[in-house]
Amino acid sequence: MRYVPFPESVLTYTDRGETVEYQDVRPSSQPLFHACPSSVLPPAIVYNPPSEPAWLGTLVHKLIAKVRLGEPLPENEAQVLEAGLVQSEDLEHEDTQVEFLLGRFAEAWGELVGDFPGPKQELRLSSPITSGTCDLFGRDQEVMSIGDWKTGSVYSNCKPQLMAYAYAAWVTYGMPNSGRISAHCIWLRMGRVDTWEFTADDMDDFEHRHFQQLEQVGKVFNPGTHCGFCPRQLECEGLREYERSAAKALIVAGVTNEVALSDTSVAELKSQRDAIKRAIDRYDSMLKARLMVKGRIECDAYAIELQQQNRASVHPIKAWPVLLDNLTEAELNDCMEISKTKAVNAVRAKAVRGKKKYAEQEFVDELEKADAINYHTVFQARKVAK
Ligand code: SF4
């Protein structure tokens, strides 16, 4: 076990001429802190738009934290409510995803259980430089393991976050006999687990990097894709400058003979395009909020109004006999769309634990045998890890 009291000088930084006391950087903020040290400066304007993925993530974490590892897990909405794990209003929308993610949780836990002796959920881990609550923790004399559940569908590098939990655990308990701390980032939606083994040298590097980054707080602003997660994104001059140069670069790229642009330049432009898209999204939500209050705003050339549109949707089951009476098979086919993902999730949710993959495969095979699945190729430019 070790505990190093940090010198006074690194516990403060200067923000707009004022000396501010440094607070430790939470593990969940570590990826952003590693990408841009100034992201830990407290924001003057709070920007926290509601987000469906964030809502779902909180709900699933809340649920997982309440289930007892090793005991049967609830498998569907009814069982979740019966066990009193959440309120019914929590499940008002996207319940299928909750069931799907719980199913994935059960599968992942089945595979990881051996790595987590004496497992604990929601364990508070503290150290002088980073403290937070880790989703899953297990240790004995030989091994120590950290786990973090992710419910999102966009992959990001969570190694700094896991390293921070490992660091706090190392400060608290010391290194296990194996000389390694295992860390697992479990992407429930993607069915993917990223695993790292951290040694004492890695912990020293983490600590060293932390102080290097701290030295840069308020001095270095490093804008990029990660700014989309930063609470300072509305007020950061570094990001504004990045957006200005991104807009310029995209305009130039749009009128440049594409052969003249290298692959590297085109790949780099993707981040700049994403920054501009976020600026447009922020403008759209500001415009909508203003129209919700004023109904109409004007400039010299035109006015913008908030117009209400009522859209009708058809209840598939209730409409079914009417549709059959009035439409041919081909016409019916043209106006119907069935979500394969939702249908598969419903089959998985009903199947008993351990048989979910099999039930899914059987269902898809049956659909294929009935020639009911059309495969088509879509092309999408996505950033992936190198
Ligand atoms: S908005 Fe971007 S550049 Fe500015 S502090 Fe946050 S992460 Fe750094």
Protein residue whose Cα sits closest to atom 7 of ligand 1: 227
What integer is the mean pLDDT of 343-356? 80
The answer to whether residue 50 scores a pLDDT higher than 70 is no
Where does residue 295 fall: left (phi above 0), alpha (psi -120 to 50 degrees), or beta otherwise?
left
Quote the ligand 1 centre to 222 CA distance (angstroms).
6
What integer is the mean pLDDT of 42-65? 72
pLDDT in tens, 245-267: 999 999 988 888 777 888 998 99
CA distances, 317 to each of 320, 346, 373 (Å): 5, 16, 21
Protein residue whose Cα sits closest to atom 5 of ligand 1: 39
% of the chain with per-residue pLDDT over 90: 39
What integer is the mean pLDDT of 18-33? 79
End-to-end Cα separation, the chain, in angstroms: 36
- Tell me the domain boundaries of the chain: 12-214, 236-305, 316-369
Structure tokens at 164: 């921070």
Closest of 62, 173, 70 to residue 113, by C-alpha: 70
What integer is the mean pLDDT of 231-251? 92
- For ligand 1, pick from 29, 236, 271, 274 the residue to mutate: most ligand atoms within 8 Å of CB: 236
Distance CA 220, CA 198 (A): 28
- For ligand 1, pick from 220, 230, 240, 274 the residue to mutate: most ligand atoms within 8 Å of CB: 230
Q: What is the pLDDT of residue 41?
A: 84
Distance CA 213, CA 25 (A): 11
What integer is the mean pLDDT of 339-363? 84
Quote the ligand 1 centre to 256 CA distance (angstroms).
30
Q: How confident is the model at residue 9 (pLDDT cuts 50, 70, 90)?
A: very low
Quote the ligand 1 centre to 48 CA distance (angstroms).
15
Q: Which atom of ligand 1 is nearest to the CA of 226?
A: 7
Distance CA 223, CA 47 (A): 17
Q: What is the pLDDT of residue 179?
A: 96
Quote the ligand 1 centre to 360 CA distance (angstroms).
43
Quote the ligand 1 centre to 171 CA distance (angstroms).
29
Q: How confident is the model at residue 5 (pLDDT cuts 50, 70, 90)?
A: very low
Q: What is the pLDDT of residue 27?
A: 92
CATH number of the domain located at residue range(s) 12-214 in this protein: 3.90.320
Q: Which atom of ligand 1 is nearest to the CA of 36?
A: 8
Quote the ligand 1 centre to 15 CA distance (angstroms).
14
Residues in contact with ligand 1 (CB, 6 Å cut-off): 36, 38-39, 221-223, 226-227, 230, 232-233, 236, 238-239
Lookup result for tokens 């993610």: 101
Distance CA 182, CA 178 (A): 10
What integer is the mean pLDDT of 307-315? 88
**Which range, of 98-102, 113-117, 368-372, averages the lowest pLDDT?**
98-102
Q: How confident is the model at residue 12 (pLDDT cuts 50, 70, 90)?
A: low
The answer to whether residue 146 scores a pLDDT higher than 60 is yes
Give the DSSP H/E element, type plus range, for residue 305.
Answer: strand 303-305
